[in-house]
Amino acid sequence: MIKLKFLALLIAAGALFCLCSPAVFGQTTSADISKKAGETWNAIKAYGADKQKEAVAHGKALMKEANAKIAELEDKSAKASGDAKVQYEKQIKNLKASRDNASAKLTEMEKSSASAWDVTKNGFADAYKDLHQAYGKAVEQFK
């Protein structure tokens, strides 16, 4: 019951985060992003093997959100020039590499057996946390 409430709260927070205007993103601190990453990491790790489909669906939603955030940075990069553009492109390249790693871990988690569940689940949780923290660093750099 507590896990379901936590998951509902986490999903609501994620939805709110996604729906915020770009002006609010500018106010997001690295501490806020780290906190959300930690909460998401804990939520993913809380899933048991019996909730594999739910965990994978949650992971896919997180990856969709990450792709949207990367696309926002790409839009900003397209409008930037000079050193700012170079920095955006560097950060985007790093984010895409982290995203690809997290996506691969999500695929492993989706295909895992019950006996490999904890290892693959933790692998995705760690990869997603790394991706989210990399995004936080990128946002912080371009304030």
Domain boundary assignment for the chain: 2-141
* Residue showing tokens 């920095």: 87
pLDDT of residue 95: 94
pLDDT of residue 139: 85
* DSSP string over 4-67: HHHHHHHHHHHHHHHHS-HHHHTT--HHHHHHHHHHHHHHHHH--GGGHHHHHHHHHHHHHHHH
pLDDT of residue 47: 79
pLDDT of residue 90: 92
Each residue of 48-66: b (16+ CB within 10 Å) or e? eeebbeebbebbeebbebb
pLDDT tens-digit series, residues 62-89: 999 999 999 999 998 899 899 988 988 9
pLDDT of residue 48: 78
Each residue of 20-40: b (16+ CB within 10 Å) or e? eeeeeeeebeeeebeebbeeb
pLDDT of residue 105: 96
Q: Average pLDDT across each block of 10 residues of the chain; the chain has 143 residues. List them in order.
A: 42 41 44 61 74 91 94 91 90 95 96 92 92 89 76
Is 123 in contact with 108 (CB distance < 8 Å)?
A: yes
